Amino acid sequence: MDLRQLTTFHRVATLLSFTQAATELHYAQSSVTTQVKSLEVSLGVELFERLHGKIRLTPAGERLLPYAERILFLVEEARERTTGWAEPSGVLTVGTVESLTSYRMPPVLEFFHHRYPRLQIALRPSPSAQTCEALRRGTLDMGFFMEAQTEHAGVRAEVLGRERLVAVAAAGHPLSGVPAVTTEELRSVPVLAPEAGCSYQELLAAELGAGEPGTPWLEFGTIESIKRGVAAGLGVSVLPEIAVAEAVTAGTLAVLDWEPPFEVYTQIAWRHGKQVTREMRAFIDQTARFMSQDRPVPVG
């Protein structure tokens, strides 16, 4: 095996796509296929299973992946120590959720685009459970969680900050002017379910009795569609403060005087035992910096 083959294997294993790996590595897809096949021949095992147009790692591929990561990390570290500090580069693949992708990542991505143009941040939206599994398998470099718990089996998580959740309604909604809205009052109106894949959806559903008789719980899809539905008077919702800030400032949504009985935290995680590269550390630090600049939105 050689470094080129290991690099190609690592990208295919991370993306689970020969086509995407070829694009990121600037290779022809046939070259990617040939390199992986050569690596399989040299090792005497198959590294990927191909099923119905999709691929996944074989047990041998799963065993090889952490070794490939360690080898590539050591090579990069040796290059840095030999030639001096180099600019962060390569591809950092990050699992994320809609609210973070849409409302937190744009300034972070803009910063990296201008400050570290050789480093590509590839966001992969997925539910938290899938992100956690992908981290354990090594198919993501890092991943975001928005959860109450801060410990996850097989991964190491760093808390970036508390993610404040707010209940919102249309401007002029009967509850918008009520002081200290109770949970029972929220249960009396239709609730547009927050984004799928976040643990706070399950916590909120349990708190408001979703699915129980007399408790309207409307699955509404994306955050933007939820905000439009709330603004149109279809019900209320509970969303991350960052996702509703502009609409509240514009006056199309109002924050209700209700505090969730639970807290959730935005976390960045990676596989337990994985080396934290300079690219990963830069991404963690800059994301935390931008989060610290957020300002609360007004109530009412």
Asked if residues 6 and 71 have their Cβ atoms less than 8 Å apart, the reply is: yes
253: domain CATH number is: 3.40.190.290
Asked if residues 25 and 11 have their Cβ atoms less than 8 Å apart, the reply is: yes
Task: Give the confidence band of 85 by pLDDT, cuts at 50, 70, 90.
Answer: low
Domain stops at, among 64, 84, 104: 84
DSSP 261-288: SS-EEEEEEEETT----HHHHHHHHHHH
- The mean per-residue pLDDT over the stretch 174-194 comes to 88
SS (H, E, C) 223-241: HHHHHHHHHCCCCEEEEEH
Domain-located, residue 71: yes
25: domain CATH number is: 1.10.10.10
d(CA 5, CA 19): 16
CA 240 to chain centre: 14
Q: What is the pLDDT of residues 142-174, one digit of tens each?
A: 999 988 888 888 899 999 988 899 999 999 899
Domain stops at, among 30, 55, 84: 84
Domain-located, residue 195: yes
The SS3 call for residue 90 is strand
The pLDDT value given to residue 86: 65
Asked if residues 143 and 95 have their Cβ atoms less than 8 Å apart, the reply is: yes
Domain-located, residue 130: no
- The mean per-residue pLDDT over the stretch 57-76 comes to 88
Question: CA-CA-CA-CA torsion for 227, 231, 233, 237, nearest 10 degrees?
Answer: 30
Asked if residue 78 and residue 167 are part of one domain, the reply reads no
Domain stops at, among 69, 84, 99: 84
Q: What percent of the chain has pLDDT over 70?
A: 93
What amino acid occupies position 50? R
Q: What percent of the chain has pLDDT over 90?
A: 41
Q: What is the pLDDT of residues 271-288, one digit of tens each?
A: 888 888 888 989 999 998
Nearest residue to 118 via CA among 198, 26, 195, 180 = 26
The pLDDT value given to residue 202: 80
Token pair for residue 70? 């360690």
Residue range of the domain that includes 220 = 163-263
The mean pLDDT value of the chain amounts to 87
292: DSSP letter: H
pLDDT of residue 289 exceeding 90, the answer is no
The pLDDT value given to residue 110: 94
